[in-house]
Amino acid sequence: MTATAATASPPLDTPPLPWSAIPEPPSGPLGHTPAWLGYDNARTVLQRLQSYAACGPLARVRVGPVRMLFVSDPALAGEVLSAPEANYKGAVYILTRVVLDNVLLLNGEAWARYRKAYRGALRNVAPRGVAREVTARFTDGLLSSTSAGAGPVQLDRATNRLVRDIVGGFVAGVTLPDELEPHRHRVQYELAAVGIDLQCQPWAFLSPRRWIALRQSVAALRAFFREAVRERLARPNDRPDILNGFIQLARAGEYPLDINALQEGIVNFFFSATDVLASTAGWTTWLLATHAAEQERLRTALANGPAELDDNEYLGQVTKEALRLYPGYSLFGRTTQADMVIGGYEVPKGTMLLFSPFVTHRLERYWPEAERFQPERWSGRALGAPPPAVRDQFLPFGSGLRGCLAAHLATPLLKEIVAGIIPRARLRAVAGHRPEIVYWGTTFSANGLPATITGISQPFSK
């Protein structure tokens, strides 16, 4: 299925080579700095990293004062991401914590403590019923609008709203009102910007107007979720959602029984899950809209296959292949807190490490016909949710100490979304449309994902 991985490390008895020996991509007279500056360049970072991957498993890049190491070898990425000294958020994130106070940006013991609590809050969460119910209403709405002659649907925008409602449901039993969407979008945008603007062009964060707008959006969203916490504490229920998970931990003395702490927990989960799942769901429906034969085969598999979606082989193949081509975590970064040896090279303390599942999953040295949507490449290995670890050159949820906390939920939710739409609606991409892939926290299409939708005359039911 996959080609032999490129050698990531020399023999153990070989002394490490110096940092300067790591291959460096070609650059102009000013080095790599011009390629990283500005809004447009920030959005095309994935294409730039794809060119760096031509250097081999490692590529070193200097952007002004920033020293970067891009790791494209999946096995080596898994090794590095499991090393404590490579699993820190850089000092530039401190500025964002002042505004967002996001515990996901913590380091060291504090991060380990919150990670344990967050995993506990997830222990009894059952989001599939929410996803099934919300997707059914969503599909009803799609079919109603298209039967009324509404024209093509932008799949990315539509699935964004769908996922937003699903995540709000299993996080806290809430639906985000439309007037809060601009605030949600701004906060999500700035969370992405922190990994791009602030790292390579910090002056972009000097605008007081930008900070004031962000603070206002954070306050609006916190107020909404704080009210959800107050309501739940005043009128307890037994919903298997994340809010109840935090409340149970708090009553057991394992988490603060404090409205602000409970609110922050569900806010962090809401933002961590929404854009990642929305991006993958949008691209998955687009892949099916552009591959009529695979869409029809999936529709047949859902009609004739097992009632349990987790046992449906072809659905598993489709979702895994979609996650390969469009992983929710397209890019993530770390900062080394000590000198390290990576891939047989000396890497100094303070180096920014970049890893991109989007790039690695599209390298021919690991994946023959890498750009092709080919679900059958997962034959015999499609079932089960991918963990936050490297397997089969595959790491859609990161790996190691800071891998996705809710990775075990993402694939089942994606399956529920796909299985709720495809049996009832036929998707067809608008002819001639070519998505303009850009990156801003997740991978999306700058020019949308337009598709026509028609109802299936005799949808099956189980």
Q: Is residue 190 in some structural domain?
A: yes
pLDDT number for residue 99 = 56
Q: What is the pTM of this model?
A: 0.90
pLDDT surpasses 60 at 211: yes
Q: Which of 68-77, 210-219, 366-375 has the least mean pLDDT?
A: 210-219
Q: Is residue 9 in some structural domain?
A: no
pLDDT number for residue 82 = 86
Of the two residues 447 and 208, the one the predictor is more confident about is 447
Query: For 2-57, how does the pLDDT look when each residue is reduced to its tens digit (9 = 90+)?
Result: 333 344 455 556 889 999 999 999 988 888 888 887 777 878 889 999 999 999 99
Give the span between the Cα atoms of 73 and 395, in whole angstroms. 11
State the average pLDDT over residues 342-351: 94
Q: Is residue 12 in some structural domain?
A: no
Give the span between the Cα atoms of 388 and 152, in whole angstroms. 36
Query: For 242-265, how does the pLDDT look when each residue is reduced to its tens digit (9 = 90+)?
Result: 999 999 999 999 999 899 999 989
Give the pLDDT band (50/70/90) at residue 238.
Answer: very high
**CATH number reported for the structural domain that contains residue 310 in this entry:** 1.10.630.10
Query: For 382-436, how does the pLDDT look when each residue is reduced to its tens digit (9 = 90+)?
Result: 887 777 777 778 889 888 777 787 888 899 999 999 999 999 999 999 999 999 9
Q: Is residue 312 in some structural domain?
A: yes
pLDDT number for residue 2 = 36
Query: For 294-315, how does the pLDDT look when each residue is reduced to its tens digit (9 = 90+)?
Result: 999 999 999 998 989 999 999 9
State the average pLDDT over residues 213-238: 93
Residue 106 is encoded by which pair of tokens? 């913590």
> CA 243, 84, 116: angle at the middle one, nearest 5?
20
Query: For 132-183, how does the pLDDT look when each residue is reduced to its tens digit (9 = 90+)?
Result: 999 999 999 999 887 656 689 999 999 999 999 999 999 999 999 999 999 9
> CA 42, 442, 404: angle at the middle one, nearest 5?
125
pLDDT number for residue 347 = 96
pLDDT number for residue 148 = 56
Q: Which of 276, 288, 303, 324 is nearest to 418 (CA)?
A: 288
pLDDT number for residue 226 = 96
Q: Is residue 27 in some structural domain?
A: yes
The dihedrals phi and psi of 17, each to the nearest 5 degrees, come to: -85, 155
Residues 6+ apart with CB under 8 A from 448: 154, 156, 157, 435
pLDDT number for residue 263 = 93
Query: For 79-138, how does the pLDDT look when each residue is reduced to its tens digit (9 = 90+)?
Result: 998 888 887 776 555 555 555 566 666 677 777 888 888 889 999 999 999 999 999 999
- Rg of the chain over Cα atoms, rounded to whole angstroms, equals 22
pLDDT number for residue 227 = 96
Q: Is residue 2 in some structural domain?
A: no
The length of the chain is 462
Whether the Cβ atoms of residue 386 and residue 398 lie closer than 8 Å to each other: no
Query: For 366-381, how does the pLDDT look when each residue is reduced to its tens digit (9 = 90+)?
Result: 999 999 999 999 999 8
State the average pLDDT over residues 57-77: 92
Q: Is residue 176 in some structural domain?
A: yes
Q: Show the domain range for 34.
A: 19-455
pLDDT number for residue 460 = 55
Q: What is the mean pLDDT of the chain?
A: 87
Number of domains making up the chain: 1
Share of the chain above pLDDT 90, in %: 56
Enumerate the β-bridge partners of residue 340: 347
Q: Is residue 5 in some structural domain?
A: no
